[in-house]
Amino acid sequence: MPGTVVMKFGGTSVADAERIKRAAQRIVAKREQGMRVVVVLSARGKTTDELIAWAQEISSSPDPREMDMLLSTGERQSCALAAMAINDLGHRAISLTGSQAGIVTDTSHTKARILEVRADRIRQGLDEGAIVLVAGFQGVSTSHDVTTLGRGGSDTTAVALAAAIDADECEIYTDVAGVFSADPRIVSDARKLPVVSFEEMLEMSASGAGVLQLRSVEYARNHGVRIHCRSSFDDATGTVVVGEEVTVENPLITAVTHSTGEARVTLTGVPDTPGVAGRVTTALADANVNVDMIVQNEPVSEGSRADLSFTVPRDDLLTARAALAAIAEELGMTVRANESMGKVSVVGAGMKTHPGVAAKVFTVLGEAGINIEMISTSPIRISCVVPGEQVPTAVRALHAAFELSGPDTIRPEQPFGEFAS
Ligand code: ADP
Ligand code: ASP
Ligand code: MG
């Protein structure tokens, strides 16, 4: 039985006709090695952002179902165009929408979860010798509507297909050479990590390393999919995400991650009675808003009221406010928000056995003049919410303090150089 591979190309890698043709050559080369090839494509360049902007020109609160109908078109364009390019190279390619590819999701429009993959049509295409191209980031819900999987969702499409067809590897081709010790757009001497454990990659993706969507990493771990994240501009080996038992070195800190898309919501005048925090968070969960850090300040005196602060993705702020409006009024709480927060995190499995990491993080940020507004930790991560504009300074300071740069540092001649800030 020949090997099977899923190759996923991100937006930058298919941004224009030249790049689509280049990706087509790479796909065909794989097929010519005798592999069965399934390809997942993202929308070209900034297409998804443009489609979102179009919707916002029309409506301040676009219907999520219609949003999905709109956003799903971006990846379909890429697939059809890539199929044409592959056909021109003398190979047969068929393009499929997420729905045609059998990706069944729940009904949470704009951030649907994959429930099942019915890959018969893909298998049939492969059996007929075709290269099968699947539009990333989308599926069809159990109510037969088009859904999308959240920003960066094509990674999850790729991993889910790899699991469904039992592929040997899921290759994620992107605009950087792999997973780095920090976003190479911010830290120019970040180190490419040859391997990273699922445990660490989950924490990295969850804390902002958008190079792999969080759900794709979760899915890969749950289904035993091997992810190889690599550059679409050269042939070099990238980063392989592996089980914990495979990682040899266990450095104290593996990476510094960040996010600039955070909003902090503060509820003041929160009644100091049992059950209030539960009601607030249930209202947010029912609206499908992910709450990240939560801090409650105890009332200053008995009988007075408390403050409750938490962070949510900035994109969810309007939804969060709407979800809180009714209980805020009922309980006499005031809702305030700061939209320009950021978060910086250090991630490393070695932290489990080494005390003092938190002290170092806080000291480094303090010395850089950065005020820490909220803190949260896991056994292998320390995250600090900081003012959004100070995120790059914070990331560079922590990356330097933990001495994370190294020999695999990005080279200026790499194509990525054109994006570096
Ligand atoms: P694609 O369109 O290929 O899916 P993304 O923009 O989603 O690409 O992800 C790649 C980007 O992720 C890189 O350009 C880089 O700026 C960013 N990134 C953030 N953190 C990291 C990290 N630790 N390692 C590599 N890239 C990172
Ligand atoms: N095109 C979608 C986005 O920009 C999905 C993806 O690229 O993975 O988020
Ligand atoms: Mg992506």
Res 292 pLDDT > 70: yes
From ligand 1's centre to the CA of 75, what distance in Å? 18
Q: How many helices (H) and strands (E) does the chain have?
A: 11, 18
Nearest to 306 by CA among 326, 339, 345, 334: 334
Distance, in Å, from the CA atom of 377 to the CA atom of 362, rounded to the nearest integer, reads 13
Tokens, residue 351: 């932290």
Task: Quote the ligand 3 centre to 399 CA distance (angstroms).
Answer: 23
Using the atom order of ligand 1, give the atom closest to the CA of residue 173: 3
In this predicted structure, the answer to whether residue 411 has a pLDDT above a threshold of 50 is no
What distance in Å separates the CA atoms of residue 64 and residue 266, rounded to the nearest whole number? 26
pLDDT tens profile 328-374: 999 999 999 999 999 999 999 999 888 899 999 999 999 999 999 99
Helix (H) or strand (E) holding 33: none
Say if residues 87 and 106 touch (Cβ distance below 8 Å).
no
Q: What H or E segment, with its residue span, contains residue 40?
A: strand 36-41
- Render pLDDT for 108-148 as a digit per residue (tens, 0 to 9): 999 999 999 999 999 999 999 999 999 999 999 999 999 99
Q: Cβ contacts of residue 414 below 8 Å, gap of 6+?
A: 177, 231, 233, 234
Residue nearest to atom 5 of ligand 1 (CA): 211
Q: Is the pLDDT at 413 greater than 60, yes or no?
A: no
pLDDT tens figures, 210-246: 999 999 999 999 999 999 999 999 999 999 999 876 6
Q: Among residues 366, 374, 361, 371, which one has the least CA distance to residue 297?
A: 374
Asked if 370 and 390 count as a contact pair (C-beta separation under 8 A), the reply is: yes
Angle at 29 between CA 27 and CA 33, to 5 degrees: 115
Q: Which of 171, 195, 328, 336 is nearest to 255 (CA)?
A: 195
How far is the centre of ligand 2, averaged over its atoms, from the C-alpha of 400 (Å)? Answer: 31
Q: Which one of 14, 134, 137 would you pick to mutate in the ligand 2 pocket, going by the greatest count of ligand atoms within 8 A of its CB?
A: 137
Q: How far is CA 11 from CA 15, 41, 227, 419, in A?
A: 6, 8, 18, 14
Task: In whole angstroms, give the CA distance from residue 375 to residue 358.
Answer: 10
Using a 6 Å cutoff on CB, does residue 153 contact ligand 2? yes
Q: What domains are there in the chain, each with its CATH number?
A: 4-174 (3.40.1160.10)
Of 18-22, 188-192, 241-245, the poorest mean pLDDT is in 241-245
**Residue in 308, 307, 310, 305 with CA at minimum distance from that of residue 273:** 305
